Structure formats: structure tokens, C-alpha cells
Amino acid sequence: MTLQIKSLEEYNKEYTKSVENPEAFWAEQAETFTWKKKWDKVVNWDFREPNVNWFVGGKLNITENCLDRHLEERGDQAAIVWEPNDPNAPTKTYTYKELHAEVCKAANGLKSLGVVKGDRICFYMPMVPELAIGVLACARIGAIHSVVFAGFSAQALADRVNDATCKMVICSDYNNRGAKNIPVKKVVDDAMALGCPSIETVLVHKNTGGSVKWSEGLDKWWHDTIDHQSTECEAEEMDSEDMLFILYTSGSTGKPKGVVHTCGGYMVYTTFSFNNVFQYQAGDVYWCTADIGWITGHSYIVYGPLAAGATTVMFEGVPTYPDAGRFWQVCEKLKVNQFYTAPTAIRALMAKGDQFVEGYDLSSLKILGSVGEPINEEAWHWYDKKIGKGNCPIVDTWWQTETGGILITPLPNITDTKPCHASYPMPGVQPVLLDSDGNLVEGNDVEGLLAVKYPWPSMIRTTYGDHERCKNTYFSMFENMYFTGDGARRDKEGRYRIIGRVDDVINVSGHRMGTAEVENAINEHKNVVESAVVGYPHDIKGQGIYAYVIANQEVTDVDAFRKEIVAVVRKEIGPIAKPDMIQVVSGLPKTRSGKIMRRILRKVASSDVSNLGDTSTLLNPEVVQEIIDNALV
Ligand code: WT7
């Protein structure tokens, strides 16, 4: 197993070593894994291209590290504990032996359908064990998975399938989500109808057993394909830098981009970070409530915990079903030791009242985690007091889809914790703050743009099919730096506090969204001429979506118009992108060069209009007063 830091002194020592001699530091971590062939060089990198290679020349299969290597020592230990949506349905456990067998069967099944190394396979599935099994089956045979969160629309699914020219979609028939039964296969059918020419097979897992429309030739059942397969499947030899997966995420411009992660570095970093951030001990039960449709689920439900030989919980349901005590009921039932969730969930549960926590025995909890957005002070204290009973350090983990793993975080019981502070960099991570000209902002008690000046093993390698875009988005802003898109403060003691995005990306309930993407969706409405979307502070969601819309005719029924716009956004992207506020305006504040002055729109949406800054360069200053007068907040 990788190093597990145990004291502040050791953290300081290892951090220094990781900066002074990164190659030696990472070689030591990498040596703890099973390699088919050892690497020739630890890292080669050039951020200008960008070209980053870790464990160069090394050969491995990540599933041998997540499964095979545990069989002897902990084959009968639970690998995945699956908790269903229905609290009265039985919990299902897969031991490492069982998971190994299921993954091999699925891998053989995929092979029988013609899937080979390098093929892209899309997953559009709820949180059922077959999602984890399927993802690992791809990794077993060298197929590249692209998991699309099952809340996205048919259009969004089709866009992602086509961008990666996927050969197959793997889905469920229906999804249990709270009291709802959601037709998942129907969305895939609709995506196919929109046109997905690269798809040869839709592999359907029977989850709830509801009726589905069937396309002979295209559709195949998971059970017909996989159930009879052999429980042994040799793991494909992968190069360290072969692609492991693609995961789409939103940026400030254009369509979502496919972030590419590769095998060797991703394995080493997710395992190392899991092992240290959660201080996992043999026998612990670890639960991350994320969905595998997001990076948190990839790195800290599936790969990191399994490579570390942990017991990882996978939850099908939602925090508020059958009531707002569900998380705590599951913590008690499964005796969860490490619990990792998002601030939006904490705020939503906090708002429901303490009576949903009281009565549950949470004494198994040792460490609490937070991820995805800044955690506000009130939520932090509630989490600390009501859930952790003041005994569980909170790790406020900062990272991104692009970073693959946690980069800035407290280490529990090792470094101190402070509300709202992600605190200190992990060993091997070298963050810097920059001013807008790219000058280093040095010292403490300062603020700047957050960048990283040295590569770490699980960093983004490219954006699928468009390397230029990767370069422009992350590596062109500042020379020789990875730019995160976030602003941050460094406090007097050197702790980092993430302030939030400095670009046109918003974070709604921990879901990352490009404002341009939402605008493009809104503009699909036949009566919308133009729109501008900004984020605004929202008590539960962190940020809400505020849309300013210009219509091509007088709007007589504003409510109906709003409903139609919401429906268009649901269709183009999915319910997670639907605007909370829609204000119909006669114009948008624009500079003489035609750029929308979003600063003003953000201020209006945050009801902070006392100082709008310089509006003299506006082409149409008169529109500002109209927007303020009709603001919805
Ligand atoms: C953006 C990345 C990393 C997994 C989930 C989100 C924000 C993330 C924190 C935190 C403040 C945070 C940043 C980042 N963010 N964690 N602990 N404190 N902000 O991944 O969807 O790629 O979003 O989420 O703004 O850039 P993502």
C-alpha cells in the first residue's frame, strides 16, 4: 500500500521531499502497485504542449490493482456494499472475489459483442452495482469508458456519444430515484433517434423490469450477454499513458469537453490520495455519496477505494427519501467510518431540521468529507456538531474533474481544520497564486488566481479529440502553469481558501455548468432572440441560475413563457440546468464591441446594485435601469 502519513511532522517531511525530488517520491508510491512492466522514467512533461507522461513505459492494468491483487489477502472482505433506494430492500454486498468474478464476466460479455481495446463505451446508468462492474470491465479489456450522468437529456447524451464516437451505450431499463421510477432506456432510445451513427449496440441492464421498446439487432440484454460468461478474463496490458476514461465537463465556452485520464498516473494518485485523505484502516466502511456520473464517483467510489482494498459503499437513492434522515440511517446501519458528501446536500438536510439526525447512532463515524463547492461556515459547523458530534475532522477537499484527484485538503487528525478552508496541498502538489498578469503572488494573507506549477500523476492529459482546446483552456493563460479557473486566498498560516470560479462556469448544487451552454439551450426557444445566464447566491444550491432573456415579440403570459424556456433547457441539457429565475428584458448591457457586461448582470442577480462600477462604456446604458427595476430578487 502507498504511504499513509501519520503526523504533521511526517506531512512536512514528505511534502518537502515531494517538491525537492518528485520523481523519487512518486516512484516510491508507484512501487506499491502491481505492474506488468515497470516504468523507465517517472515523469516527462512540458506544459506548453501540453505533454505530460507519468511512469513512462510502464505497463499495467488498473483492475489487477483494484481486484486481483486483493484476492489472496482480502478476497472475502466486502469490496462494494450496495444500498438500494428502497430502505426496505436488502443491502447487497460484493466481496473482492465476487466483484472480480462479476467484472471478468462482464469483460467477457463485452468482448463477445466485439468490444476491443481502445473502443469507447458510454454508460448511462443509475447507481446500480452493474455500473461499477461495467466500468471496471471496460478497464479490464482496455476499452475507454465515458460515463454520462443519468440526469442528462437525450440530446446531451447524444452529443457526448457522438463526440467520443462510442461503439456502445450501456444503460438500465428504469431507475429508482426516491419515489420516482425513471425510464432510462427511453432516454437512450430518444438519443439514438437523434442520430448516434457510431453506436453498434445498446446493452440494457434489467433493473426494475418495466417494459421497454426493443430494437432488434441494436438492443441486447445485459443478462443474456453476461450471465453465462466465464469468471476469468485476462487483464489487457495497458501502457501507463493509454486512456482509461473520458468524462465530460463544462467550461466557460462551447460544448462540454471530454476530459481524458490515463491508466498509470490516475491509479497511483487516486489510491495515494484516498489512503491519506480518508486515513482508511483495514475493516473500515467508507461511503462517498456522489454519483459515478461525476469524477468524485470515479476516483473515490470506484478506483481509489478499490485499489486501496477498501470497503466502499454505493448508494442508489437520494438524501431525502423516504425522509431527510436517510443518510444517517444508512450510516448507522452500515456502521460507516468515513462519510464524504457535498455541501449542497448538507445545506438541504440542515434546512429540514435536526429531528432527522437525532435518534440515529452515528458513533461509527471518524472522518467527514466535503467536496464540489465551497462549504459555508454555517453548514460546516452543523456538519461538525450534528453529524460529527465535534469528534470527526472535516476534510474540505478541493479538486476538479481535470485534476483527477484531491489536490488541496486537510489531512484528518494531522493538519488542523478551519471552516471554509481546503487548507493544504497534498504531497506532490505545488499550487501557486497569480495576479492577472501572471505574476506570482507570494507570501501569506494574499489572494489570487489558483494555478499549479508542477505536474501531478492524475492530471488531465488532453480533451478528447481536441488537444488545442486543452492547451487553450488550461495551459495558455499563464506560461508553464496549469490554470484551475478558481480564485483563492492564502491565509496567514498558509491555508488555501477557495473563493470560486473566475470564469463563466457556475456551480449549481455541486454540478458544474457553463453559462454559455445554458444560454445556447435557452436560445433554442423559437421566441428567444438572445439570453445571458449568470449564477447568483442560493441558500441550498450554492449558486442558482439566473437567466435574462430577450424575446422576439411582446410576452403577454410571462409564466407560460418561463415554463416553455425551462422545458427547452430540460430537453437540451437536463433538469439540472434549468434556470431558477427568468427575467424578460428589452436588451442586455453591452460594450461597444458587443460583449455582454456580465458583471452588471451578476450584481443585479445578487441584489447588489449599490455599486455597478463603470457603465460609461456601455452601448445602451439605459437598459441597466430597466433591468434593475424589474429584477426578480
Ligand atoms: C470546481 C470543479 C472535484 C469533484 C467535484 C467537482 C469547485 C470543488 C471545492 C471545494 C470550493 C470547490 C471549484 C472547482 N470546487 N471542490 N472543496 N471548495 N470549491 O468537480 O465538477 O470538475 O468542479 O468545483 O470551483 O473548480 P468539477
DSSP 133-150: HHHHHHHHHTPEEEE--T
Ligand 1, from 399, 515, 541: best to mutate by most atoms within 8 Å of Cβ? 399
C-alpha closest to that of 407 among 563, 269, 214:
269
Give the global pTM: 0.97
For residue 316, report the distance from its CA to the centre of ligand 1, in Å: 23
Per-residue pLDDT band at 617 (split at 50, 70, 90): confident
CA 113 centroid distance within chain: 29
Across the chain, mean pLDDT equals 97
What is the phi/psi pair of residue 294, to 5°?
A: -115, 170
Rounded CA-CA distance 1/630 in Å is: 60
Rounded CA-CA distance 520/525 in Å is: 10
C-alpha closest to that of 426 among 225, 275, 236:
275
For residue 393, report the distance from its CA to the centre of ligand 1, in Å: 20
pLDDT for 614 equals 83
Query: Is residue 22's pLDDT more than 90?
Result: yes
Which atom number of ligand 1 is nearest to the Cα of residue 401?
A: 22
The mean pLDDT value for 223-245 works out to: 98
What is the phi/psi pair of residue 263, to 5°?
A: -70, -55
458 lines ligand 1 (CB under 6 A): no
Ligand 1, from 395, 486, 496: best to mutate by most atoms within 8 Å of Cβ? 486
397 lines ligand 1 (CB under 6 A): yes
* Each residue's pLDDT tens digit, 366-407: 999 999 999 999 999 999 999 999 999 999 999 999 999 999
Per-residue pLDDT band at 615 (split at 50, 70, 90): confident
Ligand 1, from 303, 371, 506: best to mutate by most atoms within 8 Å of Cβ? 371
259 lines ligand 1 (CB under 6 A): no
373 lines ligand 1 (CB under 6 A): yes
* Each residue's pLDDT tens digit, 532-558: 999 999 999 999 999 999 999 999 999
What is the phi/psi pair of residue 618, to 5°?
A: -75, 145
95 lines ligand 1 (CB under 6 A): no
Sign of the C-alpha dihedral computed for residues 131, 133, 136 and 137 taken in this order? negative
Rounded CA-CA distance 243/430 in Å is: 25
For residue 616, report the distance from its CA to the centre of ligand 1, in Å: 35
* Each residue's pLDDT tens digit, 245-269: 999 999 988 899 999 999 999 999 9
Q: Which percentage of the chain shows pLDDT scores above 90?
A: 96
Kindly state the cell numbers that stand for 437: 498578469
pLDDT for 148 equals 98
C-alpha closest to that of 293 among 335, 256, 263:
256
What residue has cell string 504542449?
A: 49
Kindly state the cell numbers that stand for 70: 486483493
Q: Which amino acid does the sequence have at 218?
A: L
Q: Closest residue (by CA) to atom 6 of ligand 1? A: 372
* Each residue's pLDDT tens digit, 313-331: 999 999 999 999 999 999 9
Ligand 1, from 246, 370, 409, 498: best to mutate by most atoms within 8 Å of Cβ? 498
* Each residue's pLDDT tens digit, 553-569: 999 999 999 999 999 99
Provide the β-strand partners of residue 287: 313, 339
Q: Closest residue (by CA) to atom 27 of ligand 1? A: 400
Query: Is residue 613's pLDDT more than 90?
Result: no
For residue 368, report the distance from its CA to the centre of ligand 1, in Å: 17
Q: Closest residue (by CA) to atom 20 of ligand 1? A: 400
Q: Edge-to-edge, what's the strand order for the sheet holding 431-434?
A: 431-434, 446-452, 482-490, 496-501
374 lines ligand 1 (CB under 6 A): yes
Q: Find out whether 562 and 582 touch, Cβ atoms under 8 Å.
A: yes
For residue 399, report the distance from its CA to the centre of ligand 1, in Å: 5
299 lines ligand 1 (CB under 6 A): no
Q: Which amino acid does the sequence have at 546?
A: Y
Helix or strand run (H / E) with residue 268: helix 263-277
Sign of the C-alpha dihedral computed for residues 601, 604, 610 and 616 taken in this order? positive
Rounded CA-CA distance 307/330 in Å is: 24
* Each residue's pLDDT tens digit, 464-515: 999 999 999 999 999 999 999 999 999 999 999 999 999 999 999 999 999 9
pLDDT for 395 equals 98
For residue 236, report the distance from its CA to the centre of ligand 1, in Å: 33
- Alpha helices by DSSP H, listed for 353-461, are 377-382
Kindly state the cell numbers that stand for 349: 438536510
Rounded CA-CA distance 458/393 in Å is: 25
The DSSP code for 402 is G
Q: Find out whether 507 and 514 touch, Cβ atoms under 8 Å.
A: no
* Each residue's pLDDT tens digit, 113-171: 999 999 999 999 999 999 999 999 999 999 999 999 999 999 999 999 999 999 999 99
Kindly state the cell numbers that stand for 574: 437536463
486 lines ligand 1 (CB under 6 A): yes
pLDDT for 150 equals 97
Q: Closest residue (by CA) to atom 24 of ligand 1? A: 372
* Each residue's pLDDT tens digit, 271-323: 999 999 999 999 999 999 999 999 999 999 999 999 999 999 999 999 999 99
For residue 358, report the distance from its CA to the centre of ligand 1, in Å: 30
Q: Closest residue (by CA) to atom 18 of ligand 1? A: 374
Which atom number of ligand 1 is nearest to the Cα of residue 406?
A: 3
372 lines ligand 1 (CB under 6 A): yes
For residue 198, report the distance from its CA to the centre of ligand 1, in Å: 32
